[in-house]
Chain A
Amino acid sequence: MNSWKTKRQLDIERRYQTLVERFTPNHSLAMNIARAFLWGGAICTLGQCVSEIGKVYLGLDQAGTSAFTAIVMVFLGAFLTGIGQYDRIGKHAGAGSIVPITGFANSIVSAAMEFRREGLVLGIGARMFIIAGPVLVYGVGASVIVGLAAYVVSLF
């Protein structure tokens, strides 16, 4: 398919590339990183509060605490997405609201809401993981590899 490209076309493309870079604005780096830091830090601090509640008040063990924290944080992300606030946070926070597990929840819930109109099965059911699916594929896939490696190591 690239055979249509003459040398002249390739030259033009290269020169245009530099032109585009010159004219395309970028967001301020420092400002956005600072905001991501503050929002991300705040969300993680909230997570720490949830985890203390689980450990101290509910008397959960270590595995229980981490599951409790994950479930509560996912709920918060889902709820804020449902009432239409998470995207507004995301506009300011950038990666600060994408990287925490609340962002993982947001990507699932927003997709489920968006495709509700395509039906309960093929809409919500099939499209819920359009963004978060790869996270599970690579996360779980990698964990199986790690497990297999651990098993091989355990044999010796």
Chain B
Amino acid sequence: MMFVKAFVVGGLLCAIGELLILKTKLTPARILVGYVTGGVVLGALGVYKPLVEWAGAGATVPLTGFGYALAKGAMDGVAESGLLGAFTGGITATAGGVAAAIFFGYLCAVIFKPKTKT
């Protein structure tokens, strides 16, 4: 059941992104920025958490989930270590994904070559 919910919620979040691209001519970079910022805001307002609990990866895998993790991390950080946590919490919570992207990105750049599209 969790898989179906993940599929539907994840699919819907992507479908909204596609609608935005087609209707507003926003570039993918702007869509990504909008999604992550939206996720932070929704996370801070406590709206996104129920969605994560309900749909699992359907809510955490899209970039709004990345934003949610940042906001949650910052708030948890403040609860644990006060003002310092506001600065350390967000990055700590998302460090895995970001470090992985840097590491694998570097590795791929060294191993693979970009190919012309046909």
Main secondary structure of the interface of B (DSSP, over half): helix
Does A139 lie within 8 Å of B36, measured CB to CB? yes
Q: How far apart are B64's CB and chain A's nearest CB, in angstroms? A: 8
List A contacts of B33 (CB < 8 A). 134-135, 138
Does A135 lie within 8 Å of B63, measured CB to CB? yes
**How many pairs of A and B residues are in contact by the CB < 8 Å rule?**
295
Within 8 Å by CB of A154, from B41, B62, B73, B78, lies: B78
Which B residues from 54 to 90 make CB contacts under 8 A with A?
56-58, 60-63, 65-67, 69-71, 73-75, 77-79, 82-83, 85-87, 89-90
A122 at the interface (CB under 8 A from B): no
With contact pairs A45-B6, A147-B77, A150-B78 given, residues A99 and B63 touching in the complex (Cβ less than 8 Å): yes
Q: How far apart are B33's CB and chain A's nearest CB, in angstroms? A: 5
B93 at the interface (CB under 8 A from A): yes
Q: Roughly how many angstroms separate A151 CA and B76 CA in the complex, as a whole number?
A: 10
Q: Roughly how many angstroms separate A35 CA and B11 CA in the complex, as a whole number?
A: 9
Q: Roughly how many angstroms separate A14 CA and B14 CA in the complex, as a whole number?
A: 34
Q: How far apart are A32's CB and chain B's nearest CB, in angstroms? A: 6
Does A49 lie within 8 Å of B3, measured CB to CB? yes
